Structure 1
Amino acid sequence: MSVAALAAAGLCVPTAYAQEVRDPLIELEQLKQKMAEQSAEMEALRRTLDAQQESLNAFRRMLRDDTLSHMRGGMAAPGRSADAGGWGAPMLAQNATPPDGGPVGRAPEHDGRPPEIAPIFDQPGVLTPARTFVFEPSLQFGYSSNNRVALVGYTIIPALLIGLIDVREVKITSLVGAATFRYGLTNRLEIEARIPYVYTSSSTVSREPFIGTAGERTFDARGHALGDAEVTVRYQINDGGVDKAYYVGWLRFKSRTGKDPFEVETDCVTRCVGNTTGTGLPLSMPTGSGFYAIQPGLTWLYPSDPVVFFGSVSYLYNFKRSGVSRTVLNGEKEFIGSVAPGGIIGFNFGMGLALNDKASFSIGYDQSIVGKTKQNGQTVPGSVRTVLGTLLVGYSYRLSDKRTLNLAIGAGLTRDTPDLTVTLRLPMTF
């Protein structure tokens, strides 16, 4: 008889015996409850494992797409201005296990910014981060030397010239100091303003053997004033990565705040065209082009371990000026009419390499094709298509997280290109 039946019959049941005998239904319910609790715990553990696996996959993608670019391709560390931060520390060092065995640090967020290179061209490829201000003072030295021989006369037999032979050697030295301001509106959009101050000097050595003297004459001219101010807008078109190109489109507008060639006084008595009195050279040097211009362009960067390839294409359009007059000696004016400079097709390419976490090196080539100049709808006599080619080498060294020293050296490869250019930049992030 069961314990319940004994109790119902009014018989006394020992307490110890009542504790030992249990109802199987109650035990089954308790077992089901424990199994449900364990299932809930296992489900929570599975969700935790799935979240950790997703974090691990994201971390692996970060190492592949971001860390390798920082270590070998020269990417700037996230959160640091590319113009001032230079080549950031390798990302593996930021995520390695601490020496004391502590937890691994959080993986940095990939901001989709292109890799940084030692700048050698005028248009940078790395944009300023959002709400970041960069001030970049720069100094550029340029030197060019060119020989010109002018023959004015006629020949009576081959190799015998009757008339004037004017042999000129022109040496031009320029020094341009500029203040550049950049602000990141977003991580993909920035605006830049550049204000240059130009000092330039020219020395012309001339020898005219058929005027009764074999001596050389030197004609010097100098000029220093504000140059042509510029405003540029840049936008990063896509998200690149390792073995994926970045594309940055930009639009530059150039003013004519500098002293243009038509404002300087020319060494001619009444007029320069067909005038034999005077040298026809400016008495002072201009500091601007004299024309408004607009220049659209596209810059690309392609990280390919362990280097970064980069380049750009652009077209500079000069706006035509009407009613132009030139100032000659004694303050007189010589009417020229309308002047339309030729457009300039430009392209460049190069490669950059990170030497360590602070220093980088770049080498590249820049070429511009200058079109013919027209006056009153006609091509100016002597105006031809000109090709300018420059080989450039650049170095960059990160002084601190907010300052970088950049040096670029250019060598002219064509006769019309400046023989030497040296550019020093010091971008500072605020």
Structure 2
Amino acid sequence: MWIGTCLAQETAVDPALRERIEAQGRRIDAMRSRMAEQLAELDQMKRELAAQEMQYADLRRAVGLDVLNDARGTGAPDVASSAQGPQASPSSPVAAAPSVGRRPAQDERPPEVAPLFDQPGVLTPPGKLIVEPSYQYGYSSSDRVALVGYTVIPAILIGLVDVRQVKTTTQTGAVALRYGLTRRMELEVRIPYVDTHTDTISREIFTGTAQDRLFTTRGKGLGDIEATLRYQLNEGGADSPYYVGWFRAKSRTGRDPFEVTSDCVTRCVANYTGTGLPLRSPTGSGFYSAQAGLTWLYPSDPVVFFGNFSYLHNFERHGVSRNVLGAGREFLGSVKAGDIADVSLGMGLSLNEKASISIGYDQAFVGRTQQAGRALPGSARVTLGSLLIGGSYRFNEKETLNVTLGVGITRDTPDSTVTVRLPVTL
């Protein structure tokens, strides 16, 4: 009561102070009114923004941009979930704004390219199993002319001319199982089934006939089972190569070339119909082998360069003999097939998030076959060169179709090979 009386007396005494207080109150009321109008405008803008976000989400779904962002791993926010209201939820663009422009996490795995060679560049993730059925069709043809006799003058031969045309078709169906042991190591086991068909067109020697004769051999069955261990040596990255070392061991589970029966050793004089060819085609090499190699990949946007170097060693076999038609078993002793050094190069280009193409070249150097520590007189070093073109299409995250076409460059290389692979992640 006393305080109110004092204020009333003071106000009555100082009317100027009272007028200033009333003016300040009117300004506060005006600011409150203006703030209310701005809040109403802000609510209207939030509603309009929410409507625009819903329209934008509908447009993204119509053109499939969400699927594209998920495939590229850009981490774009889900606009559809943020269009539920004006509030800033964890899935809204306002809450996700700090992630915009953030650099995606670096992937330690090499980039995927359309495979051309037997060695894949991308290893299987740990704990995952990949089943890869494959089919390969190969065709090769060659002509061989053998001159047996002596010449009186140049270009005049007295003796025999042995001419052969050999056409070989090989079909190989295989199943490869790859399992990721760690994030940098995988184990693969490959089981092939081989079906080979060979036609040899020649004329009988010592008979004076001008009629061609067709000699056909065929063989099918289990091939040589292989096991491969791969290890990624480094992390790699953009403009930094990836290196994958690998080691392969090959058995001789296929039909042995020395097990099949040969139609005499050479063009036998005593047997005019002898061809010197096996009566049944083998399905394996007949030798245990060990192969070590290094695969590298170098990403350089927009392409990926890759290559492979390997060396295969065939182990020597002792006490080898073969079955000759009409002569029984022929003892050959120790036999060793030639080692193989292989070098390959290529480049891959990604067309979109599902399709990619690759082109490359593979060259192998095959050594001479040895018997009892000496090179066989009829064996020679061989160079095999192939031009490879491949394509890959990813159906989904678990299935991918790979197709490779190989064209022989050198005469000893198969004329053409077509390989189809379908790796499936389980």
Q: Paired residue for 1:67?
A: none
Query: What amino acid is the match of 1:228?
Result: D
Q: Paired residue for 1:180?
A: 176
Answer whether contact 2:134 2:422 (CA < 8 A) is retained: yes
Q: Paired residue for 1:286?
A: 282
State the distance in 2 between where 1:350 and 1:398 align. Answer: 20
State the distance in 2 between where 1:319 and 1:347 align. Answer: 21
Runs of 4+ more than 6 Å apart? 13-17
Q: Paired residue for 2:240?
A: 244
- 1:302 and 2:302 aligned: no
Q: Aligned runs of 1:30-49 on 2, under 5 Å?
A: none
Query: What amino acid is the match of 1:388?
Result: L
- 1:322 and 2:341 aligned: no
Q: Per the alignment, in what secondary structure is the counterpart of residue 284 of structure 1?
A: coil
Distance verdict in 2 for CA 1:328–1:208, change over 3 Å = closer
Which one of the candidate residues 111, 118, 126 is aligned to 1:115? Answer: 111
Q: Quick one: higher RCO (CA 8 Å, sep 6+), 1 or 2?
A: 1
For residue 98 of structure 1, report the CA deviation from its aligned partner.
2.4
For residue 172 of structure 1, report the CA deviation from its aligned partner.
0.3
Query: What amino acid is the match of 2:214?
Result: T
Q: Paired residue for 2:73?
A: 91
Answer whether contact 2:167 2:199 (CA < 8 A) is retained: yes
Which one of the candidate residues 361, 366, 384 is aligned to 2:362? Answer: 366
Answer whether contact 2:267 2:275 (CA < 8 A) is retained: no
Unmatched tracts of structure 1, length 5 or more? 1-12, 18-87
Q: Per the alignment, in what secondary structure is the counterpart of residue 348 of structure 1?
A: strand
Q: Paired residue for 1:147?
A: 143
State the distance in 2 between where 1:233 and 1:325 align. Answer: 33
For residue 337 of structure 1, report the CA deviation from its aligned partner.
0.7
Distance verdict in 2 for CA 1:16–1:429, change over 3 Å = farther
State the distance in 2 between where 1:411 and 1:330 align. Answer: 40
- 1:394 and 2:373 aligned: no
Q: Per the alignment, in what secondary structure is the counterpart of residue 301 of structure 1?
A: strand
Unmatched tracts of structure 2, length 5 or more? 7-69, 84-91
State the distance in 1 between where 2:240 and 2:5 align. Answer: 80
The TM-score with structure 1 as length reference comes to: 0.77
Answer whether contact 2:266 2:275 (CA < 8 A) is retained: no
Q: Aligned runs of 1:181-196 on 2, under 5 Å?
A: 181-196=177-192
The TM-score with structure 2 as length reference comes to: 0.77
Which one of the candidate residues 340, 362, 376 is aligned to 1:380? Answer: 376
For residue 111 of structure 1, report the CA deviation from its aligned partner.
3.7
State the distance in 1 between where 2:208 and 2:123 align. Answer: 62
Q: Per the alignment, in what secondary structure is the counterpart of residue 247 of structure 2?
A: strand
Q: Per the alignment, in what secondary structure is the counterpart of residue 89 of structure 1?
A: helix
For residue 15 of structure 1, report the CA deviation from its aligned partner.
12
Answer whether contact 1:163 1:210 (CA < 8 A) is retained: no
State the distance in 2 between where 1:351 and 1:177 align. Answer: 27
State the distance in 1 between where 2:150 and 2:188 align. Answer: 55
State the distance in 2 between where 1:372 and 1:333 align. Answer: 24
Answer whether contact 1:167 1:208 (CA < 8 A) is retained: no
CA RMSD of aligned residues (A): 2.2
Q: Paired residue for 2:339?
A: 343
State the distance in 1 between where 2:5 and 2:218 align. Answer: 119
Aligned residues: 345
C-alpha distance after superposition, 1:111-160 (max 9, x if no partner): 40000100110111110001000000000000000000011111122111
Q: Paired residue for 1:231?
A: 227
Q: Per the alignment, in what secondary structure is the counterpart of residue 169 of structure 1?
A: strand
Query: What amino acid is the match of 1:90?
Result: R
Q: Paired residue for 1:275?
A: 268
Q: What percentage of aligned pairs have identical amino acids?
A: 60
C-alpha distance after superposition, 1:232-281 (max 9, x if no partner): 0000000111100000000000000000210111002xxx1683321110
Q: Aligned runs of 1:16-31 on 2, under 5 Å?
A: none
- 1:254 and 2:285 aligned: no
Distance verdict in 2 for CA 1:177–1:274, change over 3 Å = closer
